[in-house]
Amino acid sequence: MKKQLTVFIISFFFLIIGGYFFFYSTDDNLSQEDARNFGIKEINRIDKIFLADKKGTQVTLTKENDVWRVNGNYVAREIRIQTLLKTAKKIKVKQRVTKAQEVRILKNLATNNIKAEFFSKNNLVKSYFIGSADGSTTGTYMLLIDEESGENFTTPFLTHLIGFEGYLTPRYEPNPNTWRDLKIFFFPKNAIQSVKLEYPSAPENNFEIKLEKSDYALFQKKQRVISNPIAIKNYLLNFKSIAAENILTSSVKDAVLNKIKTQNIWFSLSVTNFLGKTTTVKGYKKKMPFGSTNSIGLPMAFDPDRFYGICFNNELTTLQYFVFDPLLIKKSDLE
């Protein structure tokens, strides 16, 4: 009896160990090495990334003189780039897809995926398909592509980042607008030549600040007026880093533009740097739906948190009062 019990315990032990390595194997223990090798060890070599989904949305991210750009035109958000590169380097296989799930997962990957391609000096280094999350949203289904043949591997895997709880698909989002650096004003060293703020409906609040002989002076209607140098200095510090919240897509943009054409412009803010380049933002208040009320039931005509801004070569954006309030002052605040 003891011998049978010992054999049973040993067999059960090896069954548990075998099951563990089947479902939760590390890279060194899984079979099909090439089919699960998602990570890019020498991530610093990557200088081009292409992302595309089945809907036709795509973006190309390229590194030019240590600066990442979106579709060759716009500067990319550094934090988003670094997050993607970190993911591409440290991504690991969490679990092998079971045979029972394999057909379903492959079908989902074929109909709903994001394709990612990583290049170094125009040579393809790594490419794979990113699918949906698993039921617990702690892993992401992916399928590797053979770089040499261009053929898809036949085995999908559930991947993850060690120490990160969540799925990875959003990190590969191919919408170009999500990758763009949305900073409008960026003056960390106060390299400002002039600031001009105009309120068409309240011209008495208009002002212009100009740098003259190493000192900033306050003007209104091109006439110099008495000002408070400390107030001006503190005001200019607010331009260190000001960004838009979002760029409106074309499907929404046209409808919004038609609405704000019937409104008066709220403000026009222009900042010129030492090289003579001027950046301008035109603000329009965002109307609330008819019948909107605030927390105490009073009518609310405009959104209290956001407004529309036209900037970035006439692109329509949403801006936040929290960000812009320190910039939208009156002439009297600088006297």
Whole-structure pTM value: 0.75
Establish if 100 belongs to a structural domain: yes
Establish if 21 belongs to a structural domain: no
Assess whether pLDDT exceeds 80 at residue 219. Answer: yes
Stronger pLDDT, 65 or 31, i.e. the higher one = 65
- 214 and 329 co-located in one domain: yes
Last residue of a domain, one of 178, 193, 226: 178
Residue 60's CB is within 10 A of a number of other CB atoms, namely: 18
**Mean pLDDT value across the chain:** 87
- 115 and 231 co-located in one domain: no
Stronger pLDDT, 26 or 257, i.e. the higher one = 257
- 194 and 167 co-located in one domain: no
Question: What DSSP string describes 69-123?
Answer: EETTTEEBPHHHHHHHHHHHHH-EEEEEPPHHHHHHHHHHHHHS-EEEEEEETTE
pLDDT the model gives residue 17: 43
- 113 and 241 co-located in one domain: no
- pLDDT tens across 168-182, in order? 999 999 999 899 999
Which band of pLDDT confidence, cut at 50, 70 and 90, is reported for residue 1?
low
- 166 and 286 co-located in one domain: no
Establish if 64 belongs to a structural domain: yes
Mean pLDDT for the stretch of residues 191-210: 97
pLDDT the model gives residue 195: 98
pLDDT the model gives residue 179: 95
Helices (H) and strands (E) in the chain, counts: 6, 20
Stronger pLDDT, 35 or 282, i.e. the higher one = 282
CA distance linking residue 107 with residue 297, whole number of Å: 51
pLDDT the model gives residue 147: 81
pLDDT the model gives residue 27: 41
- pLDDT tens across 35-63, in order? 778 999 999 999 999 999 999 999 999 99
Assess whether pLDDT exceeds 60 at residue 296. Answer: yes
- 135 and 190 co-located in one domain: no
- Look up residue 103 and give its amino acid: V
> Structural domain of residue 264, as residue ranges?
183-334
- 162 and 220 co-located in one domain: no
Q: CA angle, 250 as apex, 244 and 255 as ends, to 5°? A: 95
Which band of pLDDT confidence, cut at 50, 70 and 90, is reported for residue 6?
low
Last residue of a domain, one of 151, 178, 205: 178
Which residue, chain included where needed, has tokens 């990957």?
Answer: 109
- 131 and 71 co-located in one domain: yes
Establish if 3 belongs to a structural domain: no
Establish if 12 belongs to a structural domain: no
298 within 8 A of 315, measured Cβ to Cβ: no
Establish if 294 belongs to a structural domain: yes
pLDDT the model gives residue 190: 87
- pLDDT tens across 222-279, in order? 999 999 999 999 999 999 999 999 998 777 888 888 888 788 899 999 999 999 999 9
- The number of folded domains in the chain is 2
Assess whether pLDDT exceeds 70 at residue 82. Answer: yes
- 224 and 108 co-located in one domain: no
pLDDT the model gives residue 251: 72
Establish if 26 belongs to a structural domain: no
- 247 and 262 co-located in one domain: yes
- 282 and 305 co-located in one domain: yes
Tokens encoding 20: 């563990």
Q: Percentage of the chain surpassing pLDDT 90?
A: 63
pLDDT the model gives residue 33: 65
Establish if 7 belongs to a structural domain: no
Last residue of a domain, one of 121, 151, 178: 178
Q: Percentage of the chain surpassing pLDDT 70?
A: 90
- 62 and 118 co-located in one domain: yes
- pLDDT tens across 115-166, in order? 999 999 999 999 999 998 887 777 899 999 988 888 888 889 999 998 888 8
